[in-house]
Structure 1
Amino acid sequence: MPAPRFLQLSDVAEVLNISANQVYALVRRGDIPAVKIGGRGQWRVESSELEKYIERLYTETKQFIDTHPFGEEAEVSGSEDVRS
């Protein structure tokens, strides 16, 4: 069976390993595009939009790491400070 096109906020929360309230906040801020469906106005996130959001997070994280190096050098110098 193919993966569903639209996900409930609880499904998105499970994928991202965060609470449904956190997902709702991301939707309300516009970080994750979503639509309201049905008479009760239940939120749904398209699977492809969730994947785009995750890719944006990877890109933003890489850019942050590239501009704020904290790799082995920082760990080594930090450990030397502890020993002295």
Structure 2
Amino acid sequence: MAQVADELNVKQSLVQGLIRTGELRAFQVGGRGLWRIGRQDVEDYIEQAYRRTAERIVAGDLQDEGGAEDPPRGRAQIRGP
């Protein structure tokens, strides 16, 4: 879970929330709080996030969190076709 939080540049608690709401698929190993998130599940989440963002832009409903004019800086992956 920490690796996914690091990759998405978010807090681990946000990743836990995404799992809890079903936005990010994960499975629990052994019932002792060990969670695993598959690579494809992370990729699927990122792809869905891009789609939702594009839909919000088209709808004129995109608001920055803190009033920033530019998108947040951090690690981003550039994807090809």
Same fold (TM over 0.5): yes
What do you get for the CA RMSD once the two structures are aligned? Answer: 1.7
1:59 maps to 51
Aligned residues: 62
3-state SS in 2 of match to 1:64: helix
- The gaps in structure 1 that reach 5 residues or longer are 1-8, 71-84
- Counterpart CA distance in 2 for 1:38 and 1:69 is 42
1:42 is the counterpart of 2:17: no
For 1:45 and 1:54, how far apart are their aligned partners in 2?
A: 13
SS of equivalent residue, structure 1 residue 26: helix
Counterpart AA for 2:19: V
CA distance in 1: counterparts of 2:42 and 2:31, whole angstroms: 24
Which residue identity does 1:29 align to in structure 2?
T
Q: Distance in 1 between matches of 2:31 and 2:61?
A: 50
Which has the larger share of strand? Answer: 1
SS in 1 for 2:36: strand
The TM-score normalised by the length of structure 1 is 0.67
Q: Which runs of 4+ in 1 moved over 3 A?
A: none
TM-score, structure 2 as length reference: 0.70
Of structures 1 and 2, the larger Rg is shown by 1
Deviation for aligned residue 1:41: 3.7
Identity of aligned residues (%): 35
